[in-house]
Structure 1
Amino acid sequence: MVPQQETFALPVAAAMRTELPSVAERTVAAIVVEVPGYAEAFRGQMGRKIENAVQLALGGFLELATGGADASRPVDPAIEGAYALGRGEARTGRSMDALLSAYRVGARVAWRHLSETAVAAGMPAAALARFAELVFAYIDQLSSASASGHADQLAASGRVRRRHLERLAELLVTGAPPYELITAAERADWTPPRTLTAVLLPEAGARDATAVLDARTLQVGEDLPGAEPSTERAVLLVPDAEGFARASLLTVLSGRDAVVGPARPWQDARSSYSRALRALQLGLSPDRDATVDTEQRLADLVLRADGEALADLRAQVLAPLDGLGPGPREKLLETLRSWLLHHGRREQVAAELFVHPQTVRYRMGQLRELFGKHLDDPQTVLELTLALGAR
């Protein structure tokens, strides 16, 4: 290895330092031409700032090289500047591709012009090879620092946006006023859909579900507003799940033990969430892993809205059967329920109960003896229908 002081003799270093403004200008000009992403960004005042930054970076490199330090290891200010540049690129929405291309172009152009100056100033061939090695190692270090800054900025902005999205979801399910929702949506950079549909499902399956749902799907944080701690349910708010889209949503959720609320205007998502939560609390899911579509269970939701009132209604309207034993009582109850649902059509009642029509006729005779003329009273028929509807 050629010693640093011998490699970069003072006359050579002085000659290269004199050329730095010109090299910086040519470097920026080459980047503008070869990296389209910077064609506009590097024009005008910004272009002059970039030239100054390039000149300072190259000057710092020469100072390291002539001072005997390892020029392949940039000092902290250079590293910090490259790191900040990477973060700035992430904030503007650009990927690292353009910046890394700019580094490659810059290294090539700077090397070409500085090496020409160095050779003209008397740098020997062996020293020139070492010079090339240090230049490109220096650029690699700066590139690595910028990549770290870019990644850190993306990670930080991603965490911030996730917090904003979770906050928006919480405001939606708690029924925040419209102006708060609009502000939260803007802060989260979230485009509101027409409607939102609340989905409650086990936390373990939430991640897999969101991976195949609309990218705008929101998820409430770990604490489920209004639910018992033992529910261990995640809350998803799915955009525009109406019509055929709802059918697709139900298909996606099949086998995930989900409860699906109705589609509601996005600012009224609390209504959908409340419906789904109510269905969950009432235990409407008939089997484990079944998906509960609340739109198909409206009657059950209405009938179970006040469990105590329903129990009182049943006790009151079915009182004529209290004197019967469990077996006969159950047979008459199932016959009465079927008779009400089929509007007294004996053949349909018999088919549903798998009995002979004469058996239906006999049982209905017993019921008429117990209830008397009340079976012809519209109010009694309504109350019986409600009392037996949720069985």
Structure 2
Amino acid sequence: MAPRPRRTADHGLLLPPEVVSGIRADLPRVADDVVAAIIEEVPGYTDAFSGSMGETIASAVQIALGGFLSLASGRRGSDPRTPAAPAVEGAYQLGRGEARSGRSTDALLAAYRIGARVSWQQMASGAVRAGLDADTLASFAALVFAYIDELSAASVAGHTDELATTGRVRQRHLERLAQHLVGDSTPEQVVAAAERADWPQPTTLTAVILPDSQVRPALASLPAATLVAVEAPGLDGVVLLLVPDSHDRSRGVLLRTLRGRGAVVGPARPWLEVRTSYRRALRARALGLPDDTERHLPTLVLTADADALADLRARALAPLAELRPATAEKLTETLRAWLLHQGRRDDTAAALFVHPQTVRYRMTQLREAFGEGLEDPDTVLALTLALGVAP
């Protein structure tokens, strides 16, 4: 749990008017020194503070320091709650602006630390010259850093609130984009959705179906622009990821990243055509084909029309229909191996774990059943397709 920031409310410090007056006269110089130190020590702000932006920030620093002096002198501004309220509100808005600019709070908090150090050095020197005693000086120091704590906390809150607000909105846009991509939307609708989501358009997208429990660890190793969909058509208890630019050599990286996660990975497709990758991944999952769908193309092709495949198998194997089931099964198994090994008897025997003479005997039976059909290219093609996938 983060420590609670020190508070300035009821601080009990009241600086003498002459001390306040002397410090206030130095505020423009102190603000300039703070900005210069931040530019020098925080690389992320070197460009942001240049030109007119630097002048704006210097003015903001003066306002913050002026609010602090009002606090330390016991004066109350127009805000009935505390003289620090305008500066705290400004810090909150600064945090929101940093979030909109895509920067983290790291540089901002570093700037606050540097601002506290430089401001304290400058104001303490003025206080000592004005004769401030040691006890009051110590209380003054405590108030300075409590005030910076309040401003820092306000900026962090603004940054967090902005991210939460914009993040939720953008997340909804990204989810809708994923649904457009795999649904029936037109290319114009998809492009418009990508622009609304401020999503960089890739060259390709790859559909990945993944168990819900594996999504978070997988996303840690995938491109930041990966889209996540939990409500795509056909999903049932799993999640769809659309991974950008994982084609060619990058596909190997994607497959290694997803290895052992129960993923089904469709082919890479031009990003506007990713629904075809998703449909292939869905079919592979329905058939129980794991991992890379590209490894299962023959099975996917042969099972594209299950009824047609069943009809083809029945017609192609009709010569074995009158045999006893056990005999027909052995001969079918032998014919499949014989076709896959292009008639090489020893290789066929090794695949079936039988003696080559057994293969010879069975092939004699098959030639008797099929006659000259085993020499006919059309018959061989039909048998190869029919037996390419086990029933």
TM-score tier (shorter):
0.7 to 0.9
Compare 76-85 and 125-134 and name the one that shifted more: 125-134
- Code of the aligned partner of 1:265: P
Number of the residue aligned with 1:337:
336
Number of the residue aligned with 1:299:
298
- Aligned to 1:226, which of 228, 234, 239? 234
Are residue 46 (structure 1) and residue 53 (structure 2) matched?
A: yes
- Aligned to 1:252, which of 251, 257, 266? 257
Matches within 5 A, 1:1-391: 7-32=14-39, 35=42, 37-67=44-74, 75-118=84-127, 123-174=132-183, 176-213=185-222, 215-216=223-224, 218-227=226-235, 229=236, 232-283=237-288, 285=289, 291-391=290-390
Structure 2: distance between partners of 1:76 and 1:255: 55
**How far 1:129 moved relative to its partner?**
3.2
Residues 111-156 of structure 1: per-residue CA shift (max 9 Å, x gap): 4444455455564444333223222221221122222223333444
Using the aligned pairs only, state the percent identity.
59
Residues 245-289 of structure 1: per-residue CA shift (max 9 Å, x gap): 433433333322222222222332222211111111223x3xxxx
> Gapped runs of 5+ residues in structure 1?
286-290
Question: What is the RMSD computed on CA atoms of the aligned residues?
Answer: 3.4
Structure 1: distance between partners of 2:214 and 2:265: 14
Structure 1: distance between partners of 2:163 and 2:349: 68
Q: Would the aligned equivalents of 2:266 and 2:292 in 1 still touch at CA under 8 Å? A: yes
Q: Residues 368 and 48 from structure 1, CA distance in 2 versus in 1: closer, same or farther, beyond 3 angstroms? A: closer
**How far 1:82 moved relative to its partner?**
0.9
- Code of the aligned partner of 2:232: L
TM-score by length of structure 1 reads 0.80
Q: Would the aligned equivalents of 1:169 and 1:218 in 2 still touch at CA under 8 Å? A: no
**How far 1:4 moved relative to its partner?**
8.2
**How far 1:305 moved relative to its partner?**
0.9
Residues 64-122 of structure 1: per-residue CA shift (max 9 Å, x gap): 333378xxx76433222111112212322334344334333433444444445545556
Q: Residues 118 and 175 from structure 1, CA distance in 2 versus in 1: closer, same or farther, beyond 3 angstroms? A: same
Q: Residues 326 and 92 from structure 1, CA distance in 2 versus in 1: closer, same or farther, beyond 3 angstroms? A: same
- Code of the aligned partner of 1:250: L
Structure 2: distance between partners of 1:106 and 1:240: 44
**How far 1:169 moved relative to its partner?**
3.0
**How far 1:243 moved relative to its partner?**
4.5
Q: Residues 300 and 29 from structure 1, CA distance in 2 versus in 1: closer, same or farther, beyond 3 angstroms? A: closer
Q: Would the aligned equivalents of 1:7 and 1:130 in 2 still touch at CA under 8 Å? A: no
Number of the residue aligned with 2:6:
none
**How far 1:304 moved relative to its partner?**
0.8
Q: Residues 256 and 117 from structure 1, CA distance in 2 versus in 1: closer, same or farther, beyond 3 angstroms? A: closer
* Count of equivalent residues: 376
**SS of equivalent to 1:226:** coil
**How far 1:28 moved relative to its partner?**
4.0
**How far 1:297 moved relative to its partner?**
1.6
Structure 1: distance between partners of 2:120 and 2:347: 93
Structure 1: distance between partners of 2:250 and 2:132: 72
Compare 111-120 and 73-82 and name the one that shifted more: 111-120
